[in-house]
Chain A
């Protein structure tokens, strides 16, 4: 068997996930629709009175306007990460779906790629729904705002690959608590989501710079409001590089896990 074997046949697995998703799409739709609304209500309306305006990239923004793009970005992260951890793990371990697929002309790379691309698709869908919500609130400048949709896909590939890597190495489904607690939660809180990174001391800014979510948040602010505090090229390169590294790590971990 070749070391790396990928063809467009992976789309058949992606389609399988789409068919399952469509069966309960109304329920699936609710989460990305309502979750950011809850956050916007709690933080934007509840907290903004206490906080007042936020200075970001030299501009005064209301707190709700500041966090709206960040909530979109975190939703991109959560959707892909959940899909390639909990959901993929169930398919792989409990449902033996991958075992069945690997008796057909599908390669391991195709199965894993399809799962990650599916996670990215979920992210893109969440990005689209939230983009609509924050557009209604008047926080999006068009036509650039539309680029948030492909950005959601790129972010989904990055966090989906990271999730799939964890799926390749966790011994049991409960162990996902560990990457959730040690990786995803800190990313969620310290990536310029709820406060500007520019207000942090140097080491804090440095740490935020390693966070893929920070770069996704920055790019989302750029595309929705036209302003950001860092360079868009560095952020795009970082996200792409992060996605690629974890994609290959995920394939390697899954090969080790599944092929005996």
Chain B
């Protein structure tokens, strides 16, 4: 049995190199039982590389990776029997029906026929796919494909699931439905690792997250902490700021970012600066909002395009 004090995931000085290119460098992280953990970063930051090392698909270049206290190098088969992985691309089997996708996958886990059938029924119910049981994968909508991918991820009743961009390309309805299902699973004690490009998703689902760039971890913390530390409680956005405002900001040493013809001011409302700016510099075209994880992400990883 797993002791409560063994972390579900323990990565130490993890590195992944492809020839002379370093995709992941000296990353250490730990995920506790029952935690929802987020991996954020721009394209090419090394998120998928870390995930592939987590489930023993990519060999580590250096460092250590343990899941449930087992070394991934030697215990990969046992580890994989206890986890579920939802890859970025659609890897459903297009040669099989919805139902058979789950039943056949159960076979890869040596599950008995009886248990596989029961589990398939439960999951088709849970993800509202019962009416599509006999359909071919090609007949499913994008949202249904994702739900079936998630159902398949859960077929072996895993205690950890690893999701690589689970809601990319979904409409808001489908996305919220996926979130609801994941929250439901959290209440049942599941541990989850997730990568995403949607900051709102990370903020609403993750207990703790890291933001990475160029193979390294930039920050780690829970979403609220990170927002208050790196973005501030409230944000003011202005178009075409005047010189007087810029001077004011510099004098008061307020955190801000100057973009092409826009300025973003991160304020901590305790000093009433937001109010001052509103009254003195904001006759029109001024947006007041609270700080978000997206502000944190963009401040830390910059705004230039990556690919």
Contacts and interface: CB of A to CB of B under 8 A. Distances in A.
A16 B104 contact: yes
A259 B238 CA distance: 49
Interface string B252-279: 0000000000000000000000000000
Contact of A100 (B18, B80, B87): B87
A9 B110 contact: yes
Interface in A1-44: 1, 5, 9, 12-13, 15-16, 19-20, 23
**7 interchain residue pairs of minimum CB distance:** A103-B85, A100-B91, A104-B108, A12-B107, A96-B91, A20-B95, A105-B81
A51 interface: no
Contact of A15 (B56, B81, B89, B107): B107
B77 interface: yes
Interface of A: 1, 5, 9, 12-13, 15-16, 19-20, 23, 95-97, 99-107, 259-260
B288 to A, nearest CB: 45
A104 B93 contact: no
Interface residues of B, number: 32
B179 interface: no
B73 interface: yes
Given A9-B108, A259-B59, A260-B18, A103 B87 contact: yes
Contact of A97 (B52, B80, B91, B109): B91
Contacts of B85: 103
A12 B91 contact: no
Contact of A104 (B18, B80, B96): B80
10 contacts: A1-B73, A97-B91, A99-B89, A99-B91, A100-B152, A101-B108, A104-B156, A105-B109, A107-B77, A259-B59
Contacts, number: 71
A101 B90 CA distance: 13
A75 B55 CA distance: 41
B110 A12 contact: yes
Given A12-B108, A104-B108, A259 B91 contact: no
A104 B172 CA distance: 30
B150 to A, nearest CB: 13
A11 to B, nearest CB: 9
A99 B18 contact: no
A3 to B, nearest CB: 12
B100 interface: yes
Contacts of A16: 93, 96, 104, 107
A102 B94 contact: no
Contacts of B104: 12, 15-16, 19
Given A99-B91, A103-B57, A107-B77, A19 B108 contact: no
